[in-house]
Amino acid sequence: MTIPQTNARIGYFISDDYSVSAGVDHMKYVMKQDQTVKINGYISGSGTPHDGTYNNEDKVLTEDFLTFEHTDGLNYVTIEFSRVDDISRLFGIRNTDTFQVNLTEGLGTGVLYPRSNTKLLNKERYDEFHIAGYGLSAKAGLHLVFFKHFLLVGELKGGYINMYDIRTTNNIADKANQKFFFFETILGIGGIFRF
């Protein structure tokens, strides 16, 4: 895991209880080197000992075979729809002009725009931004609002990512795919302003 992993979001309240927002979750992913995986397919013309046909065989992901990471950003560019409920009265808070506690939950979807850092066989390292797939997510959390304008955010967010078009070399035909679930804890600061 590398740092920083950051999120940025801007939104609009379409009513007192509902908001729509757009943002980026700048997450990280690093493949575990030297792990053993199953491989299917064939490799030819690489000029390496890895050339051959593979039929559900074990393969160690050595550095001369593949290095693979999204450390310059597993960027999940999202649109989210959220509900916000004032639960201050549950804590005995009467003056919400000074302090308010909000419960929030939401659903999101978006595209994955990673900067994948890959080196496959003896090919040149590839390190460019590329739209690689899509994601779906859900979140829930608390927003602590101060003086109706400033907030502290605490959220739990999880989802599914399907990257079916990850570029691995400068050749557009060379690509990988990756599907996984993710979970993140979000701590943040923000502001609420009227237009």
Q: What is the pLDDT of residues 15-62, one digit of tens each?
A: 999 999 999 999 998 999 999 999 999 998 888 999 999 999 999 999
Cα–Cα distance for residue pair 15/193, rounded to 1 Å: 14
**CA neighbours closer than 13 Å in the CB half-sphere of residue 118:** 25
Domain extent listing, the chain: 7-37+64-191
Cα–Cα distance for residue pair 147/177, rounded to 1 Å: 47
pLDDT one-digit tens code per residue, 72-129 = 889 999 999 999 999 999 999 999 999 999 999 999 999 999 998 999 998 888 999 9
- pTM for the full predicted model: 0.86
CA 44 vs. chain centroid, Å, equals 34
For the domain made up of 7-37+64-191, the CATH class stated in words is mainly beta
Partners of residue 183 on adjacent β-strands: 158
